[in-house]
Protein backbone atom coordinates (compact mmCIF):
# COMPACT_ATOMS: atom_id res chain seq x y z
CA UNK A 1 0.00 0.00 0.00
CA UNK A 2 1.34 3.39 -0.97
CA UNK A 3 1.59 6.13 1.64
CA UNK A 4 0.40 9.68 1.19
CA UNK A 5 3.33 11.90 0.27
CA UNK A 6 3.81 14.83 2.63
CA UNK A 7 2.27 18.09 1.46
CA UNK A 8 4.84 20.70 0.41
CA UNK A 9 3.28 24.16 0.73
CA UNK A 10 5.88 26.16 -1.22
CA UNK A 11 5.47 24.39 -4.60
CA UNK A 12 1.69 24.47 -4.11
CA UNK A 13 1.79 28.22 -3.37
CA UNK A 14 3.89 28.85 -6.49
CA UNK A 15 1.36 26.99 -8.69
CA UNK A 16 -1.56 28.78 -7.04
CA UNK A 17 0.12 32.20 -7.27
CA UNK A 18 0.93 31.65 -10.94
CA UNK A 19 -2.68 30.78 -11.73
CA UNK A 20 -3.92 33.69 -9.64
CA UNK A 21 -1.60 36.10 -11.45
CA UNK A 22 -2.81 34.93 -14.88
CA UNK A 23 -6.45 35.24 -13.76
CA UNK A 24 -5.85 38.73 -12.38
CA UNK A 25 -4.10 39.92 -15.53
CA UNK A 26 -6.90 38.45 -17.70
CA UNK A 27 -9.65 40.42 -15.97
CA UNK A 28 -7.69 43.71 -15.69
CA UNK A 29 -8.27 45.27 -19.16
CA UNK A 30 -11.56 47.02 -18.30
CA UNK A 31 -9.94 48.59 -15.24
CA UNK A 32 -6.62 49.93 -16.56
CA UNK A 33 -5.46 52.72 -18.84
CA UNK A 34 -5.60 52.07 -22.60
CA UNK A 35 -1.83 51.49 -23.10
CA UNK A 36 -1.79 48.80 -20.38
CA UNK A 37 -5.05 47.37 -21.72
CA UNK A 38 -3.56 47.00 -25.20
CA UNK A 39 -0.47 45.26 -23.80
CA UNK A 40 -2.58 42.80 -21.77
CA UNK A 41 -4.94 42.02 -24.64
CA UNK A 42 -2.06 41.59 -27.07
CA UNK A 43 -0.28 39.26 -24.65
CA UNK A 44 -3.33 37.05 -24.13
CA UNK A 45 -4.09 37.05 -27.86
CA UNK A 46 -1.23 34.57 -28.25
CA UNK A 47 -3.43 31.99 -26.45
CA UNK A 48 -7.04 33.04 -27.05
CA UNK A 49 -9.14 34.24 -29.99
CA UNK A 50 -10.75 36.94 -27.78
CA UNK A 51 -13.88 37.28 -29.88
CA UNK A 52 -15.83 40.17 -28.32
CA UNK A 53 -19.15 38.31 -28.55
CA UNK A 54 -17.57 35.41 -26.65
CA UNK A 55 -15.94 37.45 -23.91
CA UNK A 56 -17.25 39.10 -20.77
CA UNK A 57 -17.06 42.88 -20.77
CA UNK A 58 -17.22 45.56 -18.11
CA UNK A 59 -18.42 48.95 -19.30
CA UNK A 60 -18.12 47.78 -22.90
CA UNK A 61 -14.46 46.76 -22.48
CA UNK A 62 -13.88 43.00 -22.81
CA UNK A 63 -11.59 41.06 -20.51
CA UNK A 64 -8.50 39.55 -22.14
CA UNK A 65 -9.86 35.98 -22.45
CA UNK A 66 -12.96 34.45 -23.99
CA UNK A 67 -15.56 32.67 -21.87
CA UNK A 68 -13.98 29.22 -22.11
CA UNK A 69 -10.38 30.39 -21.58
CA UNK A 70 -11.42 32.51 -18.60
CA UNK A 71 -13.23 29.44 -17.21
CA UNK A 72 -10.09 27.36 -17.69
CA UNK A 73 -7.92 29.85 -15.79
CA UNK A 74 -10.48 30.31 -12.99
CA UNK A 75 -10.91 26.53 -12.80
CA UNK A 76 -7.14 26.11 -12.62
CA UNK A 77 -7.04 28.30 -9.52
CA UNK A 78 -10.00 26.44 -7.98
CA UNK A 79 -8.42 23.05 -8.73
CA UNK A 80 -5.13 24.12 -7.17
CA UNK A 81 -6.99 25.31 -4.08
CA UNK A 82 -8.50 21.83 -3.67
CA UNK A 83 -5.18 20.08 -3.11
CA UNK A 84 -4.59 21.02 0.55
CA UNK A 85 -8.32 20.97 1.30
CA UNK A 86 -8.61 17.33 0.26
CA UNK A 87 -5.72 16.26 2.50
CA UNK A 88 -5.75 12.48 3.02
CA UNK A 89 -8.55 12.02 0.47
CA UNK A 90 -5.99 12.72 -2.28
CA UNK A 91 -4.74 9.15 -2.09
CA UNK A 92 -8.25 7.75 -2.52
CA UNK A 93 -9.07 9.81 -5.59
CA UNK A 94 -5.70 9.35 -7.29
CA UNK A 95 -7.07 6.67 -9.61
CA UNK A 96 -9.85 8.95 -10.83
CA UNK A 97 -7.65 11.97 -11.65
CA UNK A 98 -6.92 11.08 -15.26
CA UNK A 99 -10.48 9.95 -15.87
CA UNK A 100 -11.76 13.28 -14.49
CA UNK A 101 -9.46 15.18 -16.84
CA UNK A 102 -10.53 13.03 -19.81
CA UNK A 103 -14.21 13.57 -18.98
CA UNK A 104 -13.72 17.34 -18.63
CA UNK A 105 -11.91 17.49 -21.98
CA UNK A 106 -14.61 15.36 -23.62
CA UNK A 107 -17.37 17.65 -22.35
CA UNK A 108 -15.53 20.76 -23.57
CA UNK A 109 -14.92 19.12 -26.95
CA UNK A 110 -18.57 18.06 -27.22
CA UNK A 111 -19.76 21.59 -26.37
CA UNK A 112 -17.52 23.00 -29.09
CA UNK A 113 -18.07 20.29 -31.75
CA UNK A 114 -21.83 20.14 -31.33
CA UNK A 115 -21.94 23.92 -31.62
CA UNK A 116 -19.86 23.88 -34.80
CA UNK A 117 -22.12 21.16 -36.22
CA UNK A 118 -25.23 23.21 -35.44
CA UNK A 119 -26.64 20.50 -33.17
CA UNK A 120 -26.18 22.46 -29.95
CA UNK A 121 -26.19 26.15 -29.16
CA UNK A 122 -23.36 26.61 -26.72
CA UNK A 123 -23.77 29.61 -24.48
CA UNK A 124 -21.52 31.67 -22.23
CA UNK A 125 -22.62 29.39 -19.37
CA UNK A 126 -21.65 26.17 -21.19
CA UNK A 127 -18.37 27.65 -22.38
CA UNK A 128 -17.42 28.91 -18.91
CA UNK A 129 -18.70 25.70 -17.29
CA UNK A 130 -16.71 23.35 -19.49
CA UNK A 131 -13.69 25.61 -19.15
CA UNK A 132 -14.01 25.49 -15.36
CA UNK A 133 -14.08 21.69 -15.45
CA UNK A 134 -10.99 21.43 -17.64
CA UNK A 135 -9.13 24.06 -15.65
CA UNK A 136 -10.03 22.49 -12.30
CA UNK A 137 -8.79 19.08 -13.41
CA UNK A 138 -5.53 20.51 -14.80
CA UNK A 139 -4.98 22.85 -11.85
CA UNK A 140 -5.56 20.05 -9.37
CA UNK A 141 -3.20 17.68 -11.18
CA UNK A 142 -0.41 20.24 -11.51
CA UNK A 143 -0.72 21.50 -7.93
CA UNK A 144 -0.97 17.97 -6.55
CA UNK A 145 2.03 16.81 -8.54
CA UNK A 146 4.09 19.81 -7.45
CA UNK A 147 3.11 19.78 -3.79
CA UNK A 148 2.55 16.12 -3.00
CA UNK A 149 4.22 13.87 -5.55
CA UNK A 150 3.41 10.21 -5.37
CA UNK A 151 5.31 8.35 -2.72
CA UNK A 152 7.50 5.57 -4.04
CA UNK A 153 6.21 2.04 -3.74
CA UNK A 154 8.08 0.14 -1.05
CA UNK A 155 10.64 -2.12 -2.66
CA UNK A 156 11.45 -5.56 -1.30
CA UNK A 157 14.88 -5.79 0.25
CA UNK A 158 17.48 -7.17 -2.09
CA UNK A 159 19.88 -9.74 -0.85
CA UNK A 160 23.27 -9.82 -2.50
CA UNK A 161 24.28 -13.25 -3.79
CA UNK A 162 26.93 -14.97 -1.68
Summarised one tens digit per residue, pLDDT across range 91-132 is: 778 888 889 999 999 999 999 999 999 998 999 999 999 999
Q: Higher model confidence: residue 153 or residue 78?
A: 78
Quick one: pLDDT at residue 150? 64
Cα pseudo-dihedral 47, 44, 19, 127, rounded to 10: -60
The reported pLDDT for the residue numbered 7 is: 87
Question: Out of 18-27, 38-47, 94-103, 123-132, which region has the weakest mean confidence (pLDDT)?
Answer: 94-103
User: Is 1 a residue whose pLDDT tops 60?
Assistant: no
Which comes out higher in pLDDT, residue 24 or 150?
24
Q: What average pLDDT is seen over the chain?
A: 91
Instruction: Tell me which of 56-65, 66-75, 81-90, 109-118 is least confident.
Output: 81-90
CA distance 25 to 17: 12
Note the pTM of the prediction, 2 decimals: 0.87
* 4 and 147 Cβ atoms separated by less than 8 Å: no
Given phi > 0 = left and psi -120 to 50 = alpha, else beta, which region is 50? left
Would the pLDDT of 147 be above 70?
Answer: yes
| pLDDT of 155 above 70 | no
Amino acid sequence: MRALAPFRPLPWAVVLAGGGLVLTLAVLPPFVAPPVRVALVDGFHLFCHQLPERSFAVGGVPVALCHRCLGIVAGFVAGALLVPLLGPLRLGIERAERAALALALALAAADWLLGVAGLWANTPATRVGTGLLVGAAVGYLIARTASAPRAAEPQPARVAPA
